[in-house]
Amino acid sequence: MVKFLKENDPEMIYIYGGDDPWTASGVTWLKNKKNIKVYVLPGGSHTTRIGSFDTDTQEEIKTQINAWLNKE
């Protein structure tokens, strides 16, 4: 997976909780990707979801998903 993500830029959103131990094995190291979006909620846990973020961030995530779904 690491090699694939380094070499490609798929349309993906990753959501992590800042206090979730699994975040350490996530893709928070990805930088400069146009289509891969990584969101880390400070103080968040393994149960962090889109709805866990503030309203502006929720809208940003939903807008991105809708843009991907509606492109021709």
pLDDT tens for each residue of 36-53: 999 999 999 999 999 999
Q: What is the reported pLDDT for 36?
A: 95
pTM: 0.89
Domain-wise residue ranges, the chain: 2-70
**CA dist., res. 59 & res. 44, Å (int):** 18
pLDDT tens for each residue of 17-37: 999 999 999 998 888 899 999
